Amino acid sequence: MNFTNDKAIYLQMAERMEDEILSGKYADDERIPSVREYAVLLQVNINTAVKAYEQMARDGIVYNKRGLGYFVTPGAKEAILKARKEEFLQVSVPQIIRQMELLGISEQELIDSIQSHNS
């Protein structure tokens, strides 16, 4: 995985796992890779992976069964989707609108661009 400099690596790791849950790779109550397995897979320090898993647990995305590992919390997919939509609408859309205004891009130009990308 290529990490960016704009966000802590453990947060990017958590987002990647959330992406995998959203895509259906892991279902409710399904075991996810161990902290160690995920650290090796993504080639990061185990302490970074621990932070990612702890963050996901705090966010209610995964839960820990002592001695068995981490599992996807029932309803996690819906919770991730809701949070991501909210963030997109509250953060990304206002930024897009500001850029459109600065660049003189009309709503119709944006719609045309979206439609051409969906074709």
Cβ neighbours for 22, distance < 8 A, ≥ 6 positions apart: 77, 80, 81, 84
CA–CA gap between residue 76 and residue 68 (Å, rounded): 19
Question: Hey, what are 112's tokens?
Answer: 């045309």
Q: Tell me what pLDDT residue 119 has.
A: 79
**pLDDT (0 to 100) of residue 52:** 97
Q: Which of 59, 85, 70, 79 is nearest to 34 (CA)?
A: 70
On whether the pTM is more than 0.75, the answer is: yes
Average pLDDT, the chain: 95
Q: How confident is the model at residue 54 (pLDDT cuts 50, 70, 90)?
A: very high
Predicted confidence band of residue 53 (pLDDT cuts 50, 70, 90)? very high
Asked if 71 contacts 63 with a C-beta cutoff of 8 angstroms, the reply is yes
> What does the pLDDT average to over 84-96?
95
Q: Nearest 5°: phi and psi at 103?
A: -95, -5
Q: Contact 109/96 with Cβ under 8 angstroms?
A: no
Q: Please tell me the predicted confidence (pLDDT) of residue 4.
A: 87
Tokens 């996807």, residue located: 72
